């Protein structure tokens, strides 16, 4: 993830300064452990200033409105208590080349600041700190005790101290090329590393693009640079410093991340705020997606392993109970041949009633023939009772396994679209995964006291996978159990066809049909391929897929999310590899 460097921070703040000063603060909302959003209103507009102290994604920009779920963080409550209704009158760097921004709040423009919000955008040391006019700390996003840092503790009631000052040389527009070149080449080495060593205020990402623009490889030794190389590089160096001086930047997407200098651009962007908001929102969501997907997969693997062990135990007990009839038959044989028994016998061999083959019956020598027969009858009854007790337990466990395998299939397919590898694509992927987590919490498979559930009134996401068949019919595919239920029992119309991999965990798939429309064989096969692809059997060459009308699909009473029963189905063989290859 590309960190916000001094250049990016300067560019973002100059744009915010131009468009949002002065503005009135109306609301503060904390999105998560690392991000606050401040609602600012000017005479022309209202939007949310986002400040993040995330260790890998600290940034400041105008961002998206926060969700409607309640804010339970105390830091945001402390901020709104002090700042509500005040005007944001200044956004200043605390010192040249420092990545600490001072947001100043006063009663009205032109008056002195009553409060300061210091946004320290410094990688893993990032923080947001509220102080009063005398710079006494009122609250901080991240309190730092004396034990954690003897150099710079950050605690309520203490005076705010700025981070240690930069000790290296800072770049200057007035520095000549000769002096600059002499400083950088004093000790031979890779040009990128020597620039980083020689000057403060630079970042690896900025230098990569600067060198790329000058057509110089970052690992090129300073010894091997010719006069033309130095000239081109110094021109880019000056271009950078002039942009900082004039506050004129060229935001753009690069092949791997973003730039505010226009170097390496693959797509220009007008607004630095949109650039930063999109990049860091996407990066953080992608990180959360990967973490959550791993956590849920691990949890499901553990639960399913225990349930499968339990199911195997029940199956073993049922196999043992299959011997019940054998005990009864031996008891019957013994009772029919009491005259053959002799005291002290440990075994008796009798001819089977039906086959006339010899049957060996183990006996207890201290009991007579009738007592031995009674013992065999008792064993028969015991095993019969075991079967009647175990069968419903096995059914319950198998139903639970079937449900969790359905959830597992939804998680394993997360990020799949037209790629065979699982990759995060959009913020909707994260929301679908969060809905799966909510479902597992609701079904008591997960406990997460820190997790704040969505509002009960919030509708489930409807960002189904969408396709068009060869003849232009729409296909909708559920991405989790919540969406599967929504698709099958809310969205589906009377004329639609419902598809699902036969007896295999997978998505509910809907072929939308208008009254009178008839899907041809090519359309049905297309949808069957998709149903196979969005199932647990994705890697197979052929997968049996059932389809039927919606009136033949229903949800059993008390069934878990995503479970449906169907009848009057037809079967097609879906070919998931065709979907993968496209």
Examine the fold and report which residue of 426, 458, 490 is the final residue of a domain before the chain moves on.
458
Q: How many folded domains does the chain comprise?
A: 4
Task: Let me know if residue 479 belongs to a domain.
Answer: yes
CA proximity to 141, closest of 2, 30, 235: 30
Instruction: Give the pLDDT confidence score for residue 266 in this predicted structure.
Output: 95
What average pLDDT does the segment 121-132 reach?
95
Res. 145: pLDDT tops 90: no
Task: Tell me the per-residue pLDDT of 422-458, one tens digit each, with 9 for 90 and over.
Answer: 567 788 888 889 899 999 998 889 886 555 444 444 5
Residues 316 and 385 in one domain: yes
Task: Let me know if residue 161 belongs to a domain.
Answer: no
Instruction: Give the pLDDT confidence score for residue 460 in this predicted structure.
Output: 61
Res. 22: pLDDT tops 70: yes
Examine the fold and report which residue of 114, 140, 166 is the final residue of a domain before the chain moves on.
140
Residues 202 and 226 in one domain: yes
Lowest model confidence (mean pLDDT) among 51-60, 445-454, 474-483:
445-454
Instruction: Give the pLDDT confidence score for residue 447 in this predicted structure.
Output: 80
What average pLDDT does the segment 490-514 reach?
94
Instruction: Give the pLDDT confidence score for residue 453 in this predicted structure.
Output: 46
Task: Let me know if residue 168 belongs to a domain.
Answer: no
Task: Let me know if residue 276 belongs to a domain.
Answer: no
Q: Where is pLDDT greater, at 46 or 167?
A: 46
Q: Which of 8-22, 59-73, 363-377 has the highest mean pLDDT?
A: 8-22
Task: Let me know if residue 17 belongs to a domain.
Answer: yes
CA–CA separation, 421 vs 415, rounded Å? Answer: 8
Diameter over CA atoms, the chain: 122
Instruction: Give the pLDDT confidence score for residue 452 in this predicted structure.
Output: 47
Instruction: Give the pLDDT confidence score for residue 449 in this predicted structure.
Output: 55
Res. 326: pLDDT tops 90: no
What average pLDDT does the segment 118-136 reach?
95
Task: Let me know if residue 471 belongs to a domain.
Answer: yes
Residues 466 and 451 in one domain: no
Residues 437 and 477 in one domain: no
Task: Let me know if residue 147 belongs to a domain.
Answer: no
Secondary structure of residue 136 in the 3-state scheme: strand
- Phi, psi (rounded to 5 degrees) for 211: -70, -40
Q: For position 127, which CATH number holds? A: 2.30.310.10
Using the structure block, give the residue that is written with the tokens 């300067």: 10
Residues 370 and 454 in one domain: yes
Examine the fold and report which residue of 420, 436, 458 is the final residue of a domain before the chain moves on.
458
Residues 363 and 476 in one domain: no
Residues 386 and 506 in one domain: no
Task: Let me know if residue 171 belongs to a domain.
Answer: no
| Cβ(127)–Cβ(139) below 8 Å | no
Instruction: Give the pLDDT confidence score for residue 581 in this predicted structure.
Output: 59
Residues 216 and 345 in one domain: no
DSSP characters over 317-343 = HHHHHTTHHHHHHHHHHHHHTGGG--T
Q: Where is pLDDT greater, at 417 or 235?
A: 235
Residues 11 and 134 in one domain: yes
Residues 129 and 198 in one domain: no
Instruction: Give the pLDDT confidence score for residue 458 in this predicted structure.
Output: 54
What average pLDDT does the segment 256-284 reach?
94
Res. 156: pLDDT tops 90: yes
| Cβ(213)–Cβ(263) below 8 Å | yes
Secondary structure of residue 147 in the 3-state scheme: coil
| Cβ(47)–Cβ(26) below 8 Å | no
Lowest model confidence (mean pLDDT) among 183-187, 285-289, 318-322:
318-322
Secondary structure of residue 107 in the 3-state scheme: coil
In DSSP terms, which residues pair with 27 in a beta bridge?
A: 39
Q: For position 425, which CATH number holds? A: 1.10.287
Residues 402 and 439 in one domain: yes
Task: Tell me the per-residue pLDDT of 385-429, one tens digit each, with 9 for 90 and over.
Answer: 877 888 899 999 999 999 999 999 888 877 444 333 456 778 888
509: containing domain: 461-581
Task: Tell me the per-residue pLDDT of 91-106, one tens digit each, with 9 for 90 and over.
Answer: 999 999 999 999 999 9
Q: For position 261, which CATH number holds? A: 1.10.8
Residues 452 and 485 in one domain: no
């Amino acid at each position: 993830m590309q960190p916000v460097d001094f250049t990016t921070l300067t560019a973002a703040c100059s744009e915010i300064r131009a468009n949002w000063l002065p503005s009135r603060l109306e609301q503060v909302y904390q999105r998560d452990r690392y991000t606050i959003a401040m609602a600012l209103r000017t005479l022309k507009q209202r939007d949310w200033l986002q400040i993040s102290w995330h260790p890998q994604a600290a940034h400041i920009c105008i961002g998206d409105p926060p969700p409607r779920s309640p804010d339970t963080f105390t830091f945001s409550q402390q901020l709104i208590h002090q700042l509500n209704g005040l005007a944001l009158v200044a956004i200043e760097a605390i010192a040249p080349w420092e990545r600490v921004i001072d947001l100043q709040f006063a009663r009205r423009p032109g008056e002195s600041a009553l409060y300061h919000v210091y946004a320290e955008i410094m990688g893993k040391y990032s923080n947001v700190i509220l102080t009063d006019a005398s710079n006494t700390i009122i609250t901080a996003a991240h309190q730092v005790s004396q034990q954690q840092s003897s150099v710079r503790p950050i605690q309520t009631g203490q005076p705010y101290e700025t981070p240690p000052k930069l000790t290296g040389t800072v770049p200057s527009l007035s520095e000549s090329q000769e002096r600059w070149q002499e400083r950088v080449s004093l000790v031979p080495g890779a040009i990128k590393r020597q620039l980083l060593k020689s000057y403060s205020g630079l970042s690896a990402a900025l230098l990569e693009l600067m060198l790329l623009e000058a057509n110089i490889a970052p690992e090129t030794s300073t010894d091997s640079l010719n006069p033309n190389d130095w000239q081109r590089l110094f021109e880019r160096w000056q271009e950078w410093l002039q942009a900082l001086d004039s506050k004129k930047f060229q935001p753009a997407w690069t092949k791997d991340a973003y730039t505010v200098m226009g170097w390496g651009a693959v797509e220009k962007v007008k607004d630095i705020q949109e650039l930063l908001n999109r990049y860091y929102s996407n990066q953080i969501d992608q990180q959360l997606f990967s973490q959550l997907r791993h956590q849920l997969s691990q949890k499901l693997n553990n639960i399913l392993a225990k349930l499968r062990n339990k199911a195997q135990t029940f199956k073993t007990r049922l196999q043992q109970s299959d011997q019940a009839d054998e005990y009864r038959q031996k008891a019957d044989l013994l009772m029919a041949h009491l005259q053959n028994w002799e005291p002290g016998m440990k075994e008796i061999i009798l001819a089977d009633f039906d086959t006339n083959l010899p049957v060996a019956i183990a006996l207890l020598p201290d009991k007579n023939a009738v007592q031995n027969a009674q013992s065999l009858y008792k064993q028969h009854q015991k095993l019969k009772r075991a079967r009647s007790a175990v069968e419903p337990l096995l059914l319950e466990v198998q139903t639970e396994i079937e449900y969790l395998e359905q959830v597992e299939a939804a998680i394993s397919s997360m990020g799949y679209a037209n790629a065979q590898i699982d990759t995060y694509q959009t913020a909707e992927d994260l929301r679908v995964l969060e809905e799966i987590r909510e479902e597992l919490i609701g079904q008591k498979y997960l406990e997460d006291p820190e997790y704040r559930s969505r509002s009960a009134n919030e509708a489930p996401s409807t960002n189904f996978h969408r396709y068009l068949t060869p003849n232009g019919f729409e296909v909708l595919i559920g991405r989790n159990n919540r969406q599967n239920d929504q698709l099958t029992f809310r969205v589906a119309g009377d004329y639609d066809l419902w598809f699902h991999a036969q007896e295999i965990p997978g998505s509910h798939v809907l072929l939308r049909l208008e009254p009178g429309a008839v899907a041809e064989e090519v359309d049905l096969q297309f949808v069957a391929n998709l149903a196979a692809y969005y199932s647990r059997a994705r890697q197979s060459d052929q997968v049996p897929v059932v389809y039927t009308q919606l009136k033949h699909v229903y949800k059993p009473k008390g069934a878990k999310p995503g479970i449906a029963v169907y009848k009057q189905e037809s079967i097609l063989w879906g070919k998931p590899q065709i979907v993968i290859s496209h």
